[in-house]
Amino acid sequence: MSGNTFGLLYCVTSFGESHGPAYGGVVDGCPPGLELSEGDIQKELDRRKPGQSRHVTQRQESDRIEVLSGIFEGKTTGTAIGFVIRNEDQRSKDYSALADTFRPGHADYTYWQKYGLRDYRGGGRASARETMIRVAAGAIAKKWLRERYGVQVRGYLAQVGRTSIPFESWDAVDANPFFAPNAAMVAQLEKQMDELRESGDSCGARVNVVASGVPVGWGEPVYGRLDADIAAAMMGINAVKGVAIGAGLGATVASLWEWQWA
């Protein structure tokens, strides 16, 4: 409830820092009787894993999950599912130069102001490595939703900087390092990303997520409606600055070039 737990009935708690011994999480509220193995979760973690192309962080990690509870004889038992993912490539010496410097746009400064001290090792708790826990907890949820309700949740890269990526097929998504749903765009994206990195800059991006087969009536009115829960979950991800649902901001039918303070 102090920020590291999310959800009410399917409830995820997370811990871990970028250069501590391990990340870990607890999924509380997973229904019993779901067939579940570490492999089911590992498959999704592998998609997230760093070091798989030159376009992502080069940190070397196997991101190997170990499930410590909640599964017995290949099925969930209804009890809390605890798991850990060890950090292997801790190289915390690499970050020692940062002990006296704040990186612009990073949460280092905020943590320092809030807590009066600072874990300068690669972002500490604010590192995007924490999204491993969301991926693991999401993998379990996705399996349950698919098997129990036929709900399918999928995502893809829809835009990078000014470049929109037209949707071609779901098959294309896993066939390139950008998760772009359009094979014809990949060469352009590689070029754009290489130029960006050479320029020492970064840019924003847009990700589309599609959930299909969702029954009518999920979520709770009024403050807990599904849109609100999703918005909170998305905006809690590092670097996410906006979220829209359905027609979303296109509902204004207007140029959003000027989406800044007036």
Q: According to CB under 8 A, which residues from 83 to 122 bind a copy of itself? A: 84, 107, 109-111, 113-117, 119, 121
Q: Is 123 in the site for a copy of itself (CB under 8 A)?
A: no
Amino acid at 57: T
The structure tokens listed for 43 are 């498959």
d(CA 179, CA 196): 18
Closer of 153 and 233 to a copy of itself (Cβ): 233
Task: Return the H-helix or E-strand segment holding 113.
Answer: helix 108-115
Contact 147, 34 (CB under 8 A): yes
Among residue numbers 192 through 251, which ones bind a copy of itself (CB under 8 A)? 203-206, 208, 210, 216-217, 219-225, 227-236, 240-251
Give me the least distance between CB of 107 and a copy of itself, in Å please: 7
Q: Find the binder of a copy of itself among 162, 171, 199, 212 (CB under 8 A).
A: 162
∠251-256-259 over CA atoms, to 5°? 120
Closer of 97 and 254 to a copy of itself (Cβ): 254
The contacts of residue 208 (CB under 8 Å, 6+ apart) are 155, 156, 158, 167
Closer of 150 and 166 to a copy of itself (Cβ): 166
Q: Is 176 in the site for a copy of itself (CB under 8 A)?
A: no
Furthest CA-CA distance within the chain: 59
Give me the least distance between CB of 111 and a copy of itself, in Å please: 7
Q: Is 158 in the site for a copy of itself (CB under 8 A)?
A: yes
Up-side HSE of residue 106: CA atoms within 13 Å toward CB?
19
Closer of 58 and 224 to a copy of itself (Cβ): 224
Q: Is 51 in the site for a copy of itself (CB under 8 A)?
A: no
Which residue, chain included where needed, has tokens 């995820």?
12
Q: Find the binder of a copy of itself among 8, 175, 184, 187 (CB under 8 A).
A: 8
